[in-house]
Copies of this chain bind each other. A is one copy, B any other.
Amino acid sequence: MTCPLPAENIARGADWLREGPEADVVVSSRVRLARNVAGMSFPGRMNGGESTRLLRLSQAAVSCLRVNTASVGPVPAAETDRLIWVSIGDLSPLDRTLLVERHLISKEHAKNDRFRAACFSLPDERLSIMINEEDHLRLQCVMPGLSLSAAWSALDDVDDQIESRVDIAYMPQLGYLTACPTNVGCAVRMSVMLHLPAIRLSGEMERVKRAAKDMNLTVRGFYGEGSEAAGDLFQISNQTTLGRSEPQLCEQIERMVVPQVVAYERRMREELMGKKRRYLEDQVFRALGTLRYSRLITPEEATANLSLARLGVFTGMIRDIDPQAVTQLILLTQPAHLQRLLGREMDQQKRREARADLIRHRLDGV
C-alpha cells in the first residue's frame, strides 16, 4: 500500500502543531476514548474469527460517520472531508512509524500487524480511531492549543454515532468496560501537551510533576507513557476515570490545572528574562546557531534545540523566524517524516545529513 497520508499533509507537519489558544505554552489538547463491543473478548484474548468480525463491524460503523472536527472558538479552522481506513498489516514499517510520529496510532498498535486497523479524518487528521489495540476501539480527537472541551465535544459526537450502531460494553454501576481496569468508568483520557522549557531550565519540573500527581494527574513525555520529555514537551493527563464524568475531568484539566501550569511557565520565563537574561539568551541563540549551522544532527539534538528556539520565538528574543516553522520541525525531523519528505529510505548517517539540511532550509527560508 502506498503512504496513507497525502504528501501535502506530511510536508506541512501536523494540524495539532499549529498555533492554537495559549500557543506560547500549550501545544495541543487530546481526548481519547476506549470502547469495547459487548459480548466479545478483549483484544488480548480474541481468536482470528472474532478479530475479523470486529474489523468488519468497525469498518461498517466508521463508514457511516459524519465527522465535524471543525474549529471552535479561537482554535484554527480545520475540515474533515473524508475518513480513511488502513489495515496496519498493509503498511510498510516506514509508514507505520510515520503514523506513530504523527500520534495517529500508538507504538504498540504499529508493532502487531494481524487484524489491526486504523481510521483517521482527512485532511485535518483531528479524528483517529485504532481498531483492535488494547481495546476494541480507541477513539481520539486532537486539536491545537488549549482546546480540550472542543476536542471533547467533537469526539463525544463521534462516540454517540458509533454507540448508535454498535452495542458497546457498559455497566451502569461501573461505566464503560475496558481491557485495563484503570480505564474503567468513563474510559476517557484527556491530555494537554505543554511546552515547559523555562520550568525545566529553572529546575522546577519535579515540583510540577509532584503537584500533578497530588491531583490524580500524570505527566508524560512527547510520545506518551515511558517516553522522554523530548523538546521540553510534557503531556498532562488524568490517571483514573472511575467515578468522574467527562465534563468534570475536562473542566478540571482545562480550567484549573493547565492554566496554573501555564501561569507558572510564564512566570519562570519572565524570571529568566529578568534575572538571568544573558544566560537565557545564550541558551536560546546557541540553539538557533546549532540549528542554522550544523550539517549533521540527531533527532534528540534537533528536538532539544528546536525547543529552545521555540522559547526564543515566544519570548520575542528571536524575531526572524515563524513560530510555526520551529514547532512543525519537531515533527518533521523525526526519522519517518524525514524519509517521507525526501521520498527515499535513508540510513542513520544520511538522515542526520538530511535533517540538518531540512532545518537549515526551513529556518533560513523565512
Contact = CB atoms under 8 A, between A and B. Distances in A.
Contacts of A282: 294-296, 356
A12 interface: no
A294 B280 CA distance: 10
Nearest to A356: B282
Interface string A274-300: 000011011001101110111110000
Interface centre among A286, A293, A353, A356 (most CB of B within 10 A): A293
Interface in A21-73: none
Given A278-B353, A282-B356, A356-B282, A289 B296 contact: no
Contact of A289 (B278, B281, B294): B294
Q: How large is the interface on A (under 10, 10 to 19, 20 to 34, 35 or more residues)?
A: 10 to 19
Given A278-B353, A353-B278, A294 B286 contact: yes
Contact of A288 (B279, B285, B293, B353): B293
A288 B288 CA distance: 12
Nearest to A294: B286
B290 A286 contact: yes
Contacts of A278: 295-296, 353
A288 B356 CA distance: 15
Interface in A326-343: none
B289 A292 contact: yes
B281 A285 contact: no
Contacts of A281: 295
Interface centre among A289, A292, A296 (most CB of B within 10 A): A289
Contacts of A353: 278
Nearest to A360: B285
Contacts of A288: 293
A342 B288 CA distance: 27
A132 B150 CA distance: 83
A250 to B, nearest CB: 42
A364 to B, nearest CB: 12
A285 B289 CA distance: 9
A286 B293 contact: yes
What are the 5 A-B residue pairs with the smallest beta carbon separation, nearest first? Answer: A289-B293, A289-B289, A282-B295, A282-B296, A285-B293
Interface of A: 278-279, 281-282, 285-286, 288-290, 292-296, 353, 356
Given A278-B296, A290-B293, A293-B293, 15 more contacts: A278-B295, A279-B296, A281-B295, A282-B356, A285-B293, A285-B294, A285-B295, A286-B289, A286-B293, A289-B290, A289-B292, A289-B293, A289-B294, A290-B290, A292-B293
15 contacts: A278-B296, A282-B294, A282-B295, A285-B293, A285-B294, A285-B295, A286-B290, A286-B295, A288-B293, A289-B289, A289-B290, A289-B294, A290-B290, A290-B293, A293-B293
